[in-house]
């Protein structure tokens, strides 16, 4: 039964991830340099932020280093950044696709029991006190994080 539920969750992840890919496939790259609303983030910023965030799943779930640590300077919260230094949209789209394919392969390796093990940022002692701090919970949270920003992207009519 737990395998069935994890498959539902992985499908939901894919649906949200694919919806982001589709959003960025509808228009010429220039379109996505627009702000989603006056004075708010550009669509490209949100894409970069989603890459940097989901890339962080690799170390957090114990799969190794980030693929694109060079993006952190632009796209993780509380780092100073300037729009004119942004990586080009085409580069971000390619990294988004490569990251997603790579993550799927890593996710495939986990058994249901392993999904429920602690993630790498919680100590065994803290995990014993709060077993919700497992890999699957991080995955569920990141899926909702993608949905959150997808809602914002769709403010900019595509």
Q: Which residues bind a second copy (CB under 8 A)?
A: 1-2, 4-9, 11-12, 16, 36-38, 40, 112-113, 116, 131-132, 134, 136-137, 140-141, 143-145, 147-152, 154-155
Q: Contact at 8 Å (CB) between 52 and 71?
A: yes
Query: Can you tell me the distance from the alpha carbon of 84 to that of 44, in angstroms, rounded to the nearest whole number?
Result: 12
Dmax (CA) of the chain: 50
Give least dist CB 136 to a second copy, A.
6
**Closer residue to a second copy (CB): 37 or 94:** 37
Q: How far is CA 113 from the centre of its chain?
A: 23
Give least dist CB 79 to a second copy, A.
20
Q: Contact at 8 Å (CB) between 108 and 63?
A: no
**Closer residue to a second copy (CB): 70 or 130:** 130
Give least dist CB 111 to a second copy, A.
11
- Per-residue tokens: 68: 């694109």
**Closer residue to a second copy (CB): 40 or 121:** 40
SS3 42: strand
Give least dist CB 151 to a second copy, A.
4
């Amino acid at each position: 039964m737990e395998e069935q539920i994890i498959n539902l969750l992985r499908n939901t992840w894919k649906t949200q991830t694919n919806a982001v890919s589709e959003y960025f496939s509808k228009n010429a790259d220039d379109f996505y340099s627009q702000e989603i609303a006056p004075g708010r983030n550009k669509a490209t910023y949100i894409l970069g932020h989603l890459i940097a965030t989901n890339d962080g799943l690799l170390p957090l779930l114990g799969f190794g280093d980030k693929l694109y640590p060079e993006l952190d300077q632009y796209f993780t919260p509380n780092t100073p950044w300037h729009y004119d230094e942004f990586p080009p949209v085409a580069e971000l789209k390619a990294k988004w696709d490569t990251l997603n394919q790579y993550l799927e392969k890593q996710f495939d390796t986990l058994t249901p029991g392993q999904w429920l093990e602690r993630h790498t940022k919680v100590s065994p002692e803290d995990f014993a006190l709060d077993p919700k701090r497992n890999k699957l919970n991080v995955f569920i949270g990141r899926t909702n994080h993608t949905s959150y920003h997808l809602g914002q992207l769709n403010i900019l009519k595509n």
